[in-house]
């Protein structure tokens, strides 16, 4: 059996993180890979209660076909929810999606022809690049510093490449943990308007802040309509429910709906109704307090443990999110070192996967949310030793 | 704000049925449009009980990120379930999807470059064509008679067009209600093997049989690996849960997984676990007995009412499914007539939408599952009168 696949499949391999998951079936390995919420942050009893409640109240509607545009009560609750990011949006511009990965898929489907340029931060979330590659986009990069994307470089690259859109993770960026200061956010919104260039602002980590003050979204400074906002409940309520949202002006919203009709018809209504009830219950931020305290302690523990790492390991301290990012001495190749590290009992994601052009072998991403303090201590000890021997 | 969308969006309008849904917000209209299960067939209390049960038993795993390959217990239950269609499959070849629309999206993503030919039955499910058009496929058609796809024409068209794949709905076809006899199923499996051509067998209606004997799937006669089978629980358990499955050999399965990593990461685990529990509970066919009896009576009522329709209206009697299909006298344009019919109080889907090349204005699809007997009688009276006046 020999099949001729579509040309988009030619250079596609599996998403590195997804495939690492499968390799990590050994429960003895301390995993700093992945970006999973802690099991303790998943409110299974509360979700069970909400599932029961919404099915008893609205079961016939929930189990029937729904509109592609989504479950109407959820438009309202999401429009309300994003006010915490400074965003005022008409509920009719809120499109619930099956996780924000789907939003990226739909957005690329609407916008991207093979060879079209997308600008991304360097480094950026590999899952987003996986989608872009499936649409055969030409991925170009914007320079970052310790404060994230550099607006001047963004402007220059827009002039140079005329991208179809720009992908930015403004808060506790994946993988670097960096956060754009408010002045840069304003500047980026102005650049979007000035160059009539779409910015896709992906903001799943914003509520995972352990220090400092929350910042308004780039979208909150946008009056042009060119800033499109992605929200997700995967880090705050549950990734397994697969509910996110994309906020887009009417014409673009309609195009996204036409593509979603051909993707999954609609996001499962039960999941939308559970998230709606969760938000309306008003307990989200209450429920998160415990997780935030715990994640904050885990982040600090991981950062503290860097003191025993070999000289030349660098890290910009994040104020939240799920990840810390390490620059290692030049001679270390984190990808090549991974099998040894795993054999020693610790796993991470090699940083090279987050670079559109590969390279940067001496970087790695560490997740701290999914390992308790004692495991972080133990895992970081192992990792420090592994790096010293490298 | 003026955006340059991808070229695939140029000729895309909304899926006609999805858009009709929105027009039918008037509850006084008797709708024979859509393909909804009856509300009474949706076991909301049972699903609520299962949701509670699976969340209590396995909540932490259900709410966490899952593997793109799906929720492992569900592979087993689906492999077991498709045995009723005569299919023996290794559970590792079962990929749960977010409704069978997603299977079509993933399959096109893996296989289709712009301009590639897909062969479909004429007429066929418009939702499937909506997906194909988003991938800029060149849709060519196979002739049907009262027994569905004509194998000789299929063979001729394969030789002529060398399609990337052939899309066939073998049982109670949407929109015609026609069913392929067992000899044609065997023949089609042989053709797939002989010409090394993929057949995508979409079989969501097979368990909605009100008369006659169940037939084995085309896939059950396939030893070549070229017949890919789609299953769906939208018509039997709930469309709102969005759970289906695609059965594919290892290499193709892996390609589908790579695309699914970039679509929604994984099908929501809660929904997979509910369907798994539903199947393991062993009550599916018990629960369906009542719905099947009711749907059968509704189908018969609708067919009986055709006796009052104007001369020249033709229909091939189905043995199950959700639809009957009418050929109307040449002078009637079902699309143009729809606003009048809706004003009179009845709705349907104009048949032209099910033809890849349009035309065939004098055809319509009627759904009988979602209207009780008295509404069918009333609606068919209105429709008969509307046609007489046309």
pLDDT, tens digit, 9 for 90 and up, residues A224-235: 999 999 999 999
Structure-block tokens of residue B104: 């079509």
Searching chain B, which residue's CA lies closest to the CA of residue A254? B14
Name residues 337-376 of chain A within 8 A of B (Cβ): none
Q: Is B19 helix (H, G, I), strand (E, B) or coil?
A: helix
For B39-54, what is each residue's pLDDT tens digit? 999 999 999 999 999 9
CB contact under 8 A, B5 and A255: yes
CB contact under 8 A, B101 and A265: yes
Beta strands in chain B (DSSP E): 30-31, 94-97, 117-121, 138-142, 144-145, 148-149, 165-168, 198-202, 227-232, 244-247, 323-327, 346-347, 349-350, 363-367
Searching chain A, which residue's CA lies closest to the CA of residue B274? A270
Residue A289 banded pLDDT, cuts 50, 70, 90: very high
Selecting from B59, B109, B238 the residue whose C-beta is nearest the C-beta of A6 gives: B109
Per the prediction, chain B carries an average pLDDT of 95
Does some domain include residue A51?
no
The mean pLDDT value for B357-371 works out to 96
pLDDT for the residue numbered B197: 98
Does some domain include residue B151?
yes
Chain A residues whose beta carbon lies within 8 Å of the beta carbon of residue B242 = 264-268
**Residue A216 region by backbone torsions, left for phi larger than 0, else alpha for psi between -120 and 50, else beta:** beta
pLDDT for the residue numbered B12: 87
For B241-269, what is each residue's pLDDT tens digit? 999 999 999 999 999 999 999 999 999 99
Is residue B212's pLDDT more than 90?
yes
pLDDT over 70 percentage in chain A: 97
pLDDT for the residue numbered A19: 63
The mean pLDDT value for B121-126 works out to 97
Is residue B165's pLDDT more than 90?
yes
In this structure, are B127 and B261 located in the same domain?
A: yes
pLDDT for the residue numbered A23: 59
In this structure, are B309 and B265 located in the same domain?
A: no
Does some domain include residue A52?
no
Domain holding A313, by residue range, is 7-43+285-388
CATH of the domain at A162: 3.40.640.10
Selecting from A60, A242, A259 the residue whose C-beta is nearest the C-beta of B39 gives: A60
How far is A37 from B58, CA to CA, in rounded Å?
16
Name residues 7-26 of chain B within 8 A of A (Cβ): 7-9, 12-15, 18, 21-22
Is residue B358's pLDDT more than 90?
yes
In this structure, are A274 and A372 located in the same domain?
A: no
Q: End of a domain among A258, A281, A304?
A: A281
In this structure, are B72 and B176 located in the same domain?
A: yes
Strand partners, A95: A246
CB contact under 8 A, A111 and B6: yes
In this structure, are A301 and A190 located in the same domain?
A: no
Task: Identify whether the C-beta of residue B145 lies closer than 8 Å to the C-beta of residue B193.
Answer: no
- Hey, is the C-beta of A37 within 8 angstroms of any chain B C-beta? yes
Searching chain B, which residue's CA lies closest to the CA of residue A35? B65
Q: Is B24 helix (H, G, I), strand (E, B) or coil?
A: coil
Q: End of a domain among B281, B315, B330?
A: B281
For A349-389, what is each residue's pLDDT tens digit? 999 999 999 999 999 999 999 999 999 999 999 999 999 99
The mean pLDDT value for A201-216 works out to 97
Name residues 250-279 of chain A within 8 A of B (Cβ): 251-252, 254-255, 257-259, 261-271
pLDDT for the residue numbered B39: 93
In this structure, are A236 and A298 located in the same domain?
A: no
In a mutagenesis test of the B interface, which of A135, A236, A270 is the best target, namely the one with the most B β-carbons within 10 Å? A270
Does some domain include residue B250?
yes
Residue A21 banded pLDDT, cuts 50, 70, 90: low
pLDDT for the residue numbered B27: 79
CATH of the domain at A304: 3.90.1150.10
Structure-block tokens of residue B312: 């020249």
Does some domain include residue A299?
yes
In this structure, are B196 and B268 located in the same domain?
A: yes
Task: Identify whether the C-beta of residue B302 lies closer than 8 Å to the C-beta of residue B324.
Answer: yes
Does some domain include residue A116?
yes
Going by their DSSP bridges, the two strands B144-145 and B198-202 should be labelled as unpaired
Residue B22 banded pLDDT, cuts 50, 70, 90: low
Chain B residues whose beta carbon lies within 8 Å of the beta carbon of residue A174 = none
In this structure, are A289 and A170 located in the same domain?
A: no
Per the prediction, chain A carries an average pLDDT of 95
How far is A167 from B210, CA to CA, in rounded Å?
52
Q: Is B119 helix (H, G, I), strand (E, B) or coil?
A: strand
pLDDT for the residue numbered A13: 81
CB contact under 8 A, A39 and B64: yes
DSSP for B234-270 reads TTTT-STT--EEEE--HHHHHHHHHHHHTTTSS--HH
Is residue A91's pLDDT more than 70?
yes
pLDDT for the residue numbered B209: 98
DSSP for B40-96 reads GGS-HHHHHHHHHHHHHHHHHHHHS---TT--HHHHHHHHHHGGGGT----GGGEEE
pLDDT for the residue numbered A25: 64
CB contact under 8 A, B270 and A265: no
Is residue A14's pLDDT more than 90?
no
Does some domain include residue A1?
no
In this structure, are B136 and B179 located in the same domain?
A: yes
Q: How far is B89 from chain A (nearest CA, A)?
A: 17
SS in 3 state form for chain A? CCCCCCHHHCCCCCCHHHHHHHHCCCCCCEECCCCCCCHHHCCHHHHHHHHHHHHHHHHHHHHCCCCCCCCHHHHHHHHHHHHHHCCCCCHHHEEEECCHHHHHHHHHHHHCCCCCEEEEECCCCHHHHHHHHHCCCEEEEECEECCEECHHHHHHHHHHHCCCEEEECCCCCCCCCCCCCHHHHHHHHHHHHHCCCEEEEECCCCCCECCCCCCCCHHHHCCCCCEEEEEECCCCCCCCCCCEEEECCHHHHHHHHHHHHCCCCCCCHHHHHHHHHHHHHCCHHHHHHHHHHHHHHHHHHHHHHHHHCCCCCECCCCCECCEEEEECCCCCCHHHHHHHHHHHCEECEEHHHHCCCCCCCCEEEEECCCCCHHHHHHHHHHHHHHHHCC
CB contact under 8 A, A9 and B258: yes
Q: End of a domain among B248, B281, B314?
A: B281
Is residue B110's pLDDT more than 80?
yes
In this structure, are A261 and A292 located in the same domain?
A: no
Is residue A28's pLDDT more than 70?
yes
In this structure, are B81 and B229 located in the same domain?
A: yes
Q: How far is A309 from chain B (nearest CA, A)?
A: 31
Does some domain include residue B136?
yes
Q: Is B32 helix (H, G, I), strand (E, B) or coil?
A: coil
The angle that helices A44-63 and B44-63 make with each other, rounded to 10 degrees, is 140
Selecting from A4, A98, A226 the residue whose C-beta is nearest the C-beta of B264 gives: A98
In this structure, are B165 and B277 located in the same domain?
A: yes
How far is A125 from B262, CA to CA, in rounded Å?
12
Q: What's the domain count of chain A?
A: 2
How far is A7 from B224, CA to CA, in rounded Å?
24
Searching chain A, which residue's CA lies closest to the CA of residue B50? A52
Residue B24 banded pLDDT, cuts 50, 70, 90: low
Chain B residues whose beta carbon lies within 8 Å of the beta carbon of residue A48 = 51-52, 55-56, 59
CB contact under 8 A, A240 and B52: no
Residue B23 banded pLDDT, cuts 50, 70, 90: low
In a mutagenesis test of the A interface, which of B8, B14, B18, B103 is the best target, namely the one with the most A β-carbons within 10 Å? B18
pLDDT over 70 percentage in chain B: 97
CB contact under 8 A, A48 and B51: yes
Strand partners, A244: A97, A232
pLDDT over 90 percentage in chain B: 93
pLDDT for the residue numbered B34: 87
The mean pLDDT value for A55-81 works out to 96
| B9 DSSP 8-state letter | G
Q: How far is B331 from chain A (nearest CA, A)?
A: 32
Selecting from A2, A55, A99 the residue whose C-beta is nearest the C-beta of B47 gives: A55
Name residues 98-137 of chain A within 8 A of B (Cβ): 98-99, 101-102, 104-105, 109-113, 116, 127, 130-131, 134
State pTM to two decimals.
0.96
Q: What distance separates the 2 farthest-apart alpha carbons in chain A?
A: 62
- Residues 6 or more apart whose CB falls under 8 angstroms from that of B275 comprise B74, B77, B233, B237, B241, B243
What phi, psi does B352 have (nearest 5°)?
A: -55, -30
* Closest among B356, B358, B360 to B117, alpha carbons compared: B356
Task: Identify whether the C-beta of residue B244 lies closer than 8 Å to the C-beta of residue B97.
Answer: yes
Residue A41 banded pLDDT, cuts 50, 70, 90: very high
Searching chain A, which residue's CA lies closest to the CA of residue B135? A109
CB contact under 8 A, B52 and A52: yes
């Amino acid at each position: 059996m020999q099949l001729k696949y579509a040309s988009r499949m030619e250079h596609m391999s599996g998403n590195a993180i997804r495939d690492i998951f499968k390799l990590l079936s050994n429960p003895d390995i301390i995993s700093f890979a992945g970006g999973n919420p802690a099991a303790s942050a998943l409110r299974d009893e509360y979700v069970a209660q909400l599932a029961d409640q919404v099915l008893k109240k609205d079961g016939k509607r929930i189990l029937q076909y729904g509109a592609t545009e989504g479950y109407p009560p959820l438009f309202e609750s999401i429009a309300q929810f994003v006010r915490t990011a400074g965003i005022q949006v008409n509920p009719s511009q809120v499109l619930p999606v099956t996780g924000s990965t789907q939003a990226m898929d739909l957005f690329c489907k609407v916008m991207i022809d093979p060879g079209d340029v997308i600008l991304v931060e360097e480094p950026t979330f590999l899952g987003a690049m996986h989608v872009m590659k499936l649409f055969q986009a030409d991925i170009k990069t914007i320079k970052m510093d310790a404060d994230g994307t550099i607006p001047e470089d963004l402007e220059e690259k827009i002039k140079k490449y005329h991208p179809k859109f720009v992908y930015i993770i403004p808060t506790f960026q994946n993988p670097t943990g960096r956060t754009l200061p408010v002045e840069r956010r304003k500047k980026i919104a102005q650049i979007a308007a000035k160059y009539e260039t779409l910015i896709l602002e992906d903001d799943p980590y914003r509520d995972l802040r352990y220090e400092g003050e929350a910042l308004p979204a780039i979208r909150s400074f946008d009056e042009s309509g060119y800033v499109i906002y992605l929200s997700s409940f995967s880090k705050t309520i549950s990734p397994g429910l697969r509910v996110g949202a994309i906020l887009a002006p009417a014409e673009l919203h309609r195009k996204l709906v036409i593509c979603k009709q051909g993707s999954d018809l609609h996001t499962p209504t039960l999941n939308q109704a559970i998230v709606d009830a969760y938000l309306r219950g008003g307990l989200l931020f209450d429920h998160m307090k415990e997780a935030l305290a715990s994640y904050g302690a885990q982040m600090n523990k991981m950062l503290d443990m860097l003191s025993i790492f070999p000289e030349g390991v660098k890290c910009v301290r994040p104020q939240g999110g799920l990840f810390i990012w390490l620059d290692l001495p030049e001679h270390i190749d984190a990808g090549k070192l991974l099998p040894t590290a795993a054999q020693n009992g610790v796993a991470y994601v090699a940083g090279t996967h987050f670079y559109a052009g590969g390279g940067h072998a001496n970087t790695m991403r560490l997740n701290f949310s999914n390992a308790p303090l004692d495991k972080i201590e133990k895992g970081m000890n192992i990792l420090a030793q592994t790096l010293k021997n490298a």
